[in-house]
Amino acid sequence: MTSIPYRIRRSQRARRARILVGGDGVEVVVPPRFPLSEVEPFVEEKRAWIERTLRRMEETDAELAPARVADGGELPYLGRRLTLAVRREPQRVREHAAVRGDTLRVALPPGAALLDAVERWYRRRARDEVAPLLDAACARAGTAYSGLQIRGQRTRWASCSSTGAMSFNWRLLLAPREILEYVVEHEVVHLEVLDHSQGFWNLLAARCPDWEAREAWLRRHGHALRL
């Protein structure tokens, strides 16, 4: 029986060991004092689940064309496919990225990393895409949020704090637009119902009747939303 490749990450916030299976492989998250000798037995105990999850991910990967971050490559953007056009300019000091039609044009100074530049562009665009959706959803609901942050969390798509502070993952822009719209509605409901009680789901269903289909898409394809 072959061993499962994995990496270990100690977390001050972890109270118990857990396993994350994502687009970048298998990660075992353990508390600060968790004995490393117990990691391998823990992984073996979860082997069947890990292998099932990896097989499912391979199947769904075939359903979505992956991003290719290179000159002439393609990037997903809210259901569109953008062609990436890259040029390096010896005299340029700062990177520049802008969409023209169906092309994302990126100009880079010498030595700049294309992947980092593209991610920064997605992060800027995420705020521009999320803010109006969030404003409109709050206006319909008669609620208000206290702040908006764009992050790159590995295990969370969005969050709403008890003070109304909103956080959204820029990788949602790699999904179809209706998925981003669903996540926004989901978080706006949290302004009224912080937990995931039945009352939360009832209110979400009233505002987004097909939420289950959109949630299922995100659960199935979320691991593939990466550069």
pLDDT per residue as tens digits for the range 84-116: 999 999 999 999 999 999 999 999 999 999 999
> Minimal CA–CA distance to 223: which of 46, 37, 63?
63
Please check whether residues 48 and 122 belong to one and the same domain: no
Domain that holds residue 207: 113-224
Residue 46 above 80 pLDDT?
yes
- The pLDDT of residue 44: 92
Instruction: Provide the number of structural domains found in the chain.
Output: 2
Which residues, in sequence order, are CB contacts of 82 under 8 Å at separation 6+? 74, 75, 76, 99, 102, 103, 104
pLDDT of 1 strictly over 70? no
Does residue 184 lie in a domain region?
Answer: yes
Q: Are residues 126 and 199 in the same domain?
A: yes
3-state secondary structure of 76: strand
Residues 48 and 118 placed together within one structural domain of the fold: no
If you average pLDDT over residues 46-50, what whole number do you get?
A: 91
Domain ends where: 24, 42, 61?
61
> 129 and 189, same structural domain?
yes
Looking at the fold, whether 130 and 209 belong to one and the same domain comes out as: yes
Q: Is 119 exposed, middle or buried (0-12, 13-18, 19+ CB in 10 A)?
A: middle
Given a cut of 80, whether residue 59 has pLDDT beyond it is no
Q: What are the pLDDT digits (tens) for 150-189?
A: 999 877 899 999 999 999 999 999 999 999 999 999 999 9
Quick one: average pLDDT of 10-23? 88
Per-residue pLDDT for 9 more than 80? yes
Q: Is the pLDDT of residue 31 over 90?
A: yes
Q: Is residue 54 part of a domain?
A: yes
**Residue 148 corresponds to which tokens in the numbers above?**
């908006």
pLDDT at 24: 76
Question: Does residue 73 belong to any structural domain of this protein?
Answer: no
Q: What percent of the chain has pLDDT over 70?
A: 99
- Judged against a pLDDT cut of 90, whether residue 70 lies above it is answered with yes
Task: Give 32-37's long-range contacts (Cβ < 8 A, gap of 24+).
Answer: 34/10, 36/8
Would you place residue 4 in the very low, low, confident or very high pLDDT band (cuts 50, 70, 90)?
A: confident
Mean pLDDT (the chain) is: 93
Examine the domain organization and report whether 124 and 200 are in the same domain. yes
Do residues 117 and 197 share a domain?
yes
My answer on whether 129 and 213 are in the same domain is: yes
At 112, is the secondary structure helix, strand, or coil? coil
| 141 and 220 assigned to the same domain | yes
Higher pLDDT, 198 or 13: 198
The domain that contains 188 carries what CATH number? 3.30.2010.10
Which two three-digit tokens encode residue 190? 């949290």
Same domain, 40 and 119: no
User: Is residue 187 included in any domain, yes or no?
Assistant: yes
Q: Clarify whether residues 24 and 122 are in a common domain.
A: no
Domain shared by 121 and 49, yes or no: no
**pLDDT value, residue 3:** 81
Tell me what pLDDT residue 57 has.
79
In a domain, 98, yes or no: no
Q: What pLDDT is stored for residue 23 in this prediction?
A: 72
Q: Is the pLDDT of residue 61 over 80?
A: no
